Structure 1
Amino acid sequence: MSAEQSLREVNVPRDGYDFVVVSNRLPVDRDVAEDGSSTWRRSPGGLVSALAPVMAQRDGAWVGWSGAPDEDLEPFDHDVFHLVPVALSELEVRRYYEGFSNATLWPLYHDVIASPEFHRTWWYAYRRVNERFARQAAETAAPGATVWVQDYQLQLVPRMLRRLRPDVTIGFFNHIPFPPTEIFSQLPWRRAVLDGLTGADLIGFQRPGDAQNFQRCVRKYLGVQFIKGTAQFSESTADGEETSWTVNAGSYPISIDVESIKELTADPSVRARAKEIREELGNPETVYLGVDRLDYTKGIRHRIKAYGELLHDGELSVEDSVLIQVASPSRERVDSYRQLRELVEGMVGRINGQHDTISHTAIRYLHHGYPFEEMVALYLAADVMLVTALRDGMNLVAKEYVAARQDNSGVLVLSEFTGAAEQLRQAVLVNPHDIDGLKEAMLHARDMPRTEARKRMVAMRRQVLTHDVVDWSQRFLDDLAQHAAAHAPGGDDDATAAGARAGGSHE
């Protein structure tokens, strides 16, 4: 039996769910107690916070992996979520997740900062796992349901799902950048990936440039032209009939859970912790802060190099300033990430060895995760936030810092290669590859007059507070619903309103 034939066999549930989210991970994490017992807790992050109320209102289900290999769980309920686990073997985790997703697609989509690897066994695993996710979604969705597929690990799911369940409305959101044609063309399975994505009714990207890159790739490799963000697709069914559909593709910049940050910044214990952090650092004049996953796309080495040179040049001193670098562990079984950790820790060790005193440390390097309360305390304690990513779909840390500065103080130094730079234009924008320019920006941020810093922060906070993650999800789902209504029998088949919006930028 061929893969296409097997995909056409699915049990359509009569009592399925009207709204289904499909993502690599379920929105829960497992907590294991000292006695070995375990419980589930809601995962942190804006996506989960944004979709929780939608799940509660629309009878929703979430399809995803539990995070543990070789674990076969039955569907279960937690909080407002009905959770439908998808099992992955240890081999599939290595090939589909660590391999094709994070050693092929991730570097390719981030401008080949690290060299992507192309292995057929990884691709076969990626395709097989995507089929499993598509089938599980098809067997979970009610007739006429809305299914929202998330991110680069599941790019084949939309077309697979359309073949299984042509009655459902399919959205897809790409949380990372989408590369230009010249880079995407390196992928041996480029047509299959584009084929998979164009099974969706609405495809969302972080920036207009990402949507344009995608549309150019579709035109080059599938021969289909997007006009004002809209294109027509068709294929033959197993019965030899022709089926067609309309695809909209556009920009929907994601944001953060502003309300949770507001609550924490107003919490006396969090504010006291921020003050305590500065005291533990010796109350320096300037606290620089970097918060990242330990990933080669984040520009951590560039930031540390610039800071070290400022100390060497005498422009900064350990008595007056300190850099806190939080580098959360990430994909530590992938070789490039292990190598990055060694490089970063070596740089930090050399700089601290040269400049530390008995009472002052140049760089406080923290290689572990923290509760979100501690992160907000760090945002409140920092005078200058350094976001120096070499390539980033959005970078929500930049927005979290802005949201936390309720007194409108602080300065954001922001890489121009992040999606956030298109929305937070009042930040001090930098090219992190330009080490001299980065050093100048760090000093400019330190010396910026308070009135100018306040004016910049007020404008950035207005943008972030107005366009939060709930606004993001609602705009995407509203456009997806309008698309579905326009293409229902008797609907306005040209979908001009939704298509025009999808073709532009939602800021």
Structure 2
Amino acid sequence: MADIEDERFDFVVVANRLPVDRITTHDGSPSWKTSPGGLVTALEPVMRANDGAWIGWTGTADDDQDAFETGGLHLVPVRLSASEIELYYEGFSNDTIWPLYHDVIAQPTYSRRFWEAYVEVNRKFAEAAAAIAADAGTVWVQDYQLQLVPRMLRELRPDLVIGFFNHIPFPAYGLFSQLPWRREIVEGLLGADLIGFQRRADAGNFLRAVRRLFHVPTGHGRVELPAAGEGRWPNSMSDQPRTVVARHFPISIDARSYVELVERQDVRDRAAQIRHDLGNPSTIMLGVDRLDYTKGIRHRFAAYAELLAEGKLDVDDTVLVQIASPSRERVETYKALRDEIELTVGRVNGEYGTIAHSAINYLHHGYPREEMVALFLAADVMLVTALRDGMNLVAKEYVATRADDDGVLVLSEFAGAADELKQALLVNPHDIEGLKRAMLTAVHMSRQERRTRMRALRHRVLTHDVERWSKDFLDALAQLRPTESAKAAAAAE
């Protein structure tokens, strides 16, 4: 069999990370384990069916790992130095783009050094994809870390069909225009044939940015790009006019895997044990988030503390469990957030807790999926109060686990999931009084109403799963592939 470096693949996924984590086996030898996550679940069968490959970083600085296969997947690492990780990933991706695209909840850093590293790393990924994609192959680029790859790749390989999916929001032009490199980002994305967003509003924001910056037509989600040198569009990618489609494709979860876990007796027993360990309260409220300023954890705690202070909730029969998994702990903004959250937990527990009951059970680490499902089963109320979120898959995970058609989802209207999960209690997390009302409504909701709402929510999540998401996107991308007659006509011109 030829080395992977010598192979060409009809379907290539390009993402910041490879879908595997390096582990050490029992005998001390290194190995790889498939990462948990909906994206891997969605794309693995597509890759297998289409002889696909996945390009990404291993997660370790200065890793010279060669291309390899594991679990039947072809994986092609991109080497990133410690400096590139600091400037491209921690810097431009997560200290510039992330806060800017999340409505400037935290102030973005506009650093030329960050930008220069972002350009260079995006070029690395584009060159890796150009080297392994088969003639007229399909390349699907993922997320905000790689927004320049589509254009770079098109310039290297104009024969390819290129898709891009943005997993986070795309901001309104009034915010996006702050970015000194706004034109370069939009040009980068327009190298794709199809650009996918989580929400219709995100696609609309992107199309407005295209109109404002380049004055090209964008009717019905289609960007009509003139040929190189025509108009104000600096299209060096093609001598022919091009059409780029920008649409929303709301991502989802591998719902079946959650249903299967719910059916396991050990998971159900663990859920019962969690309730017992918490003192069998009447109501368990649950928050599950990365520790990130976009997730609205502070607003959630503020509303809960006020309800305790007003005597509308009591720690003897209500508890809030907050799972806050570590996130970007080398970034100063996140260090400060952790300190603030932990001080708040201590204050609320000090004021309202008792010897027998804490007001907030706060846990700053991640858990395996089985434990998360047990927590979902144990919880009566799920609190998803993001200030801005591309989708928020935790909301969908909670719904998928509720095979008893019970439980209440309190969901921020600023999370992408709110567009689909309309039977949740939708809230504006900035409105603390409104958030308090929703929490009380959830606690006191009748069983009949809980079941009616949850049945509708589960139907949506189970029928619109991650497999359907990937199929919808790739089907739409395939429709944009030039026909042989179109190719011949373009060549004749």
TM-score (norm 2): 0.95
Tell me the CA shift for residue 32 of structure 1. 3.3
* Gap change, CA 1:19 and 1:47, over 3 Å in 2: same
Other-structure match for 1:128? 120
User: Aligned match of 1:402 in 395, 399, 402?
Assistant: 399
- Aligned 8 A contact 2:155 2:237 in 1: no
Give the letter for the 2:107 counterpart: S
- Aligned 8 A contact 1:215 1:225 in 2: no
Deviations 1:319-363 (A, max 9, x none): 101000000000000000000000000000111111222211111
User: Aligned match of 2:228 in 235, 239, 244?
Assistant: 235
Other-structure match for 2:491? none
User: Aligned match of 1:490 in 464, 485, 490?
Assistant: 485
The 5 Å alignment of 1:20-419 reads: 20-32=12-24, 37-233=29-225, 234-235=227-228, 242-419=239-416
Give the letter for the 1:235 counterpart: A
- Secondary structure, aligned partner of 2:11: strand
Tell me the CA shift for residue 491 of structure 1. 4.7
Give the letter for the 1:489 counterpart: E
Give the letter for the 1:119 counterpart: S
User: Aligned match of 1:433 in 412, 430, 434?
Assistant: 430
Give the letter for the 2:337 counterpart: L
Give the letter for the 1:142 counterpart: A
Other-structure match for 1:422? 419
Deviations 1:344-391 (A, max 9, x none): 000001111112222111111000000000000000000000000000
Moved more, 462-471 or 353-362: 353-362
Other-structure match for 1:498? none
Which segments of 5 or more consecutive residues in structure 2 lack a partner in the other structure? 489-493
Aligned equivalents of 2:53, 2:448: Cα separation in 1: 48
- Aligned 8 A contact 2:389 2:414 in 1: yes
- Aligned 8 A contact 1:389 1:432 in 2: yes
* Gap change, CA 1:240 and 1:35, over 3 Å in 2: closer
Deviations 1:41-81 (A, max 9, x none): 11111000000101111100000000001111100001131
Other-structure match for 1:499? none
Is 1:464–2:461 an aligned residue pair? yes
Tell me the CA shift for residue 39 of structure 1. 1.8
Give the letter for the 2:447 counterpart: R
Give the letter for the 1:114 counterpart: A
- Aligned 8 A contact 1:290 1:326 in 2: yes
Tell me the CA shift for residue 472 of structure 1. 0.1
- Aligned 8 A contact 2:151 2:237 in 1: no
Aligned equivalents of 2:213, 2:65: Cα separation in 1: 39
- Aligned 8 A contact 1:17 1:141 in 2: yes
| % identity of equivalent residues | 61
* Gap change, CA 1:118 and 1:228, over 3 Å in 2: same
- Secondary structure, aligned partner of 2:365: coil
Other-structure match for 1:5? none
- Secondary structure, aligned partner of 1:82: strand
Tell me the CA shift for residue 225 of structure 1. 1.8
Give the letter for the 1:207 counterpart: R
Other-structure match for 1:450? 447
Tell me the CA shift for residue 33 of structure 1. 5.3
- Secondary structure, aligned partner of 1:40: strand
Other-structure match for 1:8? none
Aligned equivalents of 2:422, 2:439: Cα separation in 1: 17
Give the letter for the 2:45 counterpart: P
Task: Count matched residues.
Answer: 479
Deviations 1:388-447 (A, max 9, x none): 000001000000000000010000000000110010000001000011111111010000
